[in-house]
Amino acid sequence: MKFFSVLLLAAAGSVIAKGNSTSTKSQCKQVQKLTKIVNLAANSTRLDDKTDGNATKADAIKAKASEAATTLSTLQANTTLMAACSQIFAVEDMEDACSQMASLEKLTALVANATKLDNKFDGNATKIAAVQAKASAGADELATLSSNTTLTQFCAAKDLESTCSSMAKLQKEVDKASNATALSEKFNGNTTKVEKAQAKASKAAEKLQAMSSNSTLVNLCASESNTKTEAAAGSSSSSAAADAESGASNVLPWAVQPMVSVLAVLAAGIFLL
């Protein structure tokens, strides 16, 4: 299935950045920041807009950009780092696209529901017209995003991760509340707090039960966990030393790992789709 091809690739990509992922991400953020400064200084039109034509401010930015360029050049000389950064940036772009698509879909659905639209804006014709115009203006962009099958598969995988993560959290809450001894110890025998925690867990159990009744969802979450485990196992076989040092080989059931280099993996394995 195409969806599971994306899911497997996503899982494989998630383990690539393990080990020194924190330092890598921080360095990539630095690359983004420095690049932004250098590009701003090099664009006279943008620089003028940014500083409102203030030459003193513009010179200060140029001086800062000159220093940034040196550091940026050093970072860019690290090909391993830049390869990782390109993957991280690509995934961030995909995630932004998913958010934009979801926002446009929500807006389109609102405009299509006259009753809901009227209620939301208390019948204010001006506001309603503005929202309708906004939806109309975004129609072409939504169509373009929706027609990108790689993007829609990626977004679906991200949504699945979020849902499975929610189920895992609910299960954890229910399990904790079921242990009366541990619960009593946690709240030092305070029955009010214990009862409050149990009531909260009861609601969580109801929600979990409703979600678990969807066998398709449960199977998808199980498959997600399996693909991540397989990807982690494959990664650990080639980088056991790094995994042992970072603890990156631990993959929990329902775990939602950061999909750091999904797009790069998708690009490399797009033929699977």
pLDDT tens per residue across span 54-101: 999 999 999 999 999 999 999 999 999 999 999 999 989 999 999 999
In this prediction, residue 126 carries a pLDDT of: 96
Residues 170-193 have a mean pLDDT of 90
145 pLDDT more than 80: yes
Which residues are CB-contacts of 32 (< 8 A; sequence separation ≥ 6)? Answer: 89
In this prediction, residue 149 carries a pLDDT of: 93
175 pLDDT more than 70: yes
In this prediction, residue 264 carries a pLDDT of: 41
193 pLDDT more than 50: yes
- Answer yes or no: are the C-beta atoms of 232 and 15 closer than 8 Å: yes
Which residues are CB-contacts of 86 (< 8 A; sequence separation ≥ 6)? Answer: 264
In this prediction, residue 272 carries a pLDDT of: 38
Domain count, the chain: 1
* 22 pLDDT tier (thresholds 50, 70, 90): low
Which residues are CB-contacts of 11 (< 8 A; sequence separation ≥ 6)? Answer: 224, 227, 228, 230, 231, 232, 257
Residues 191-202 have a mean pLDDT of 91
Q: What is the pLDDT of residues 208-253, one digit of tens each?
A: 999 999 998 898 888 877 666 655 555 555 444 434 333 333 333 3
CA distances from 196 to 110, 121, 145, 167 (A): 37, 38, 45, 21
18 pLDDT more than 60: no
Give percent of the chain above pLDDT 70: 74
In this prediction, residue 3 carries a pLDDT of: 53
* 184 pLDDT tier (thresholds 50, 70, 90): confident
Specify the pTM. Answer: 0.65
- Answer yes or no: are the C-beta atoms of 110 and 116 closer than 8 Å: yes
Q: What is the pLDDT of residues 34-53, one digit of tens each?
A: 999 999 999 999 999 999 99
Average pLDDT, the chain: 81
- Answer yes or no: are the C-beta atoms of 17 and 88 closer than 8 Å: yes
269 pLDDT more than 80: no
Pairwise pLDDT comparison (11 vs 168), residue with the higher score: 168
Classify the C-alpha dihedral 49-85-90-247 as positive or negative.
negative
In this prediction, residue 55 carries a pLDDT of: 94
In this prediction, residue 180 carries a pLDDT of: 87
Tell me the residue range of the domain where 254 lies.
Answer: 2-272
Which residues are CB-contacts of 135 (< 8 A; sequence separation ≥ 6)? Answer: 104, 107, 108, 110, 111
In this prediction, residue 74 carries a pLDDT of: 95
